[in-house]
Amino acid sequence: MSYDSPLTDYGKRLRERLGGRAQKLSIDAHLGCPNRDGTLSYGGCTFCLGDAFSPAYCRAARSITEQIDFGIAFHTRRRRTASNYIAYFQVGTNTYAPIEQLERLYNEALSHPAISGIIIGTRPDCISSEKLDLLEYLAHKKYVAVEYGIESVYDSTLRRINRHHDFATAREAVSQTKERNIDCGAHFILGLPGESRDDIVEATAQINALGIDTIKFHQLQIYRSTPLVELWHDHPEEFLFGSNFGVDSYVELLIDILRRLDANIAVERIASSSPRHLTEYSPLGGIRPDILRQRLVERMNSLNVGQGDMLIR
């Protein structure tokens, strides 16, 4: 870790894995979600706004190949060319289908000549030995990673947000994935209802114990038409990100987490952005994630602190 880079950088990690700059292309494989189709519940996670986050090129009617072609064209128009493209199965639960269907979808992406690998976003309770065997097999051909939405290490929070899985399930999913030597990432939301600042910072010990390779942190945003809106208005005291919480407080929170986070874990995201018209409340206003990251790095450098320098286990 250099003075200029107080965080373990995900882009650098991916470049090392692939031998050049990589651009992720979001894919909607139309696989749905058991927490919305009635298998687990109909309501979904209380913070979730369905597919609000898919880029325009990622349309349900398009095949995987078409989405890849549209995605490359989309990024090329924005001068974001890369030597490697990764098909990122992002929308919904991308291991929630029979194995034959998954194999066909993953192979369609991997056989595209521009694609160097796939990243599979899914829930920790939607993985199995059979599915991991498939991913392990594919990982011998091209780059493969799995990204689990874990969101919180606290079962009380997971129940409250209607996740329908517990943290032990997430631990087991990561462990089985790493046993097969597949790169494994996790996604956590900071500021979920009922979690204090201390709860969030102390959770880093359990995150370190998972053995993940990469991590994404997102600030809780309250999206319109989600069940969280009512709780947000009726019980604002349940939320860390109240009216006094802004960008500076978020940067300080991130620093407290990152100093405790294992430096072997590459940090892919520290916040999310979302369309303003869908957002009831965001603690960070409209700040762009890259500007936020720059502020974080500058602040860490000014304090002369770095990821993992207060490691907790």
Q: Which residues bind ligand SF4 (CB under 6 A)?
A: 33, 35-36, 44-45, 48, 92-93, 123, 149
CB of 292 vs ligand SF4, minimal distance in Å: 22
Torsion angle (degrees, nearest 10) of CA 20, 26, 28, 32: 100
* Nearer to ligand SF4 among residue 44 and residue 308 (C-beta): 44
CB of 149 vs ligand SF4, minimal distance in Å: 6
CB of 47 vs ligand SF4, minimal distance in Å: 7
* Nearer to ligand SF4 among residue 44 and residue 71 (C-beta): 44
Task: Report the first-to-last Cα separation within the chain, whole angstroms.
Answer: 20
Task: Give, for 256, the enclosing helix (H) or strand (E).
Answer: helix 247-260
CB of 126 vs ligand SF4, minimal distance in Å: 9
CB of 11 vs ligand SF4, minimal distance in Å: 25
Query: Which tokens sit at 131?
Result: 């599915």
* Nearer to ligand SF4 among residue 9 and residue 51 (C-beta): 51
CB of 175 vs ligand SF4, minimal distance in Å: 20
* Nearer to ligand SF4 among residue 142 and residue 165 (C-beta): 165
Secondary structure percentages of the chain, helix, strand, coil, to 5: 40, 15, 45
> Which contacts qualify for 237-246: CB closer than 8 Å, 24 or more apart?
238/193, 238/194, 239/191, 239/193, 240/190, 240/191, 240/195, 240/196, 240/197, 240/200, 241/191, 241/281, 241/283, 245/283, 246/283, 246/284, 246/285
* Nearer to ligand SF4 among residue 161 and residue 254 (C-beta): 161
Query: Which tokens sit at 185?
Result: 């990432």
* Nearer to ligand SF4 among residue 15 and residue 36 (C-beta): 36
Q: What are phi and psi of 27, to 5 degrees?
A: -125, 135
| Residues 109 and 27: beta-carbon distance below 8 Å | yes
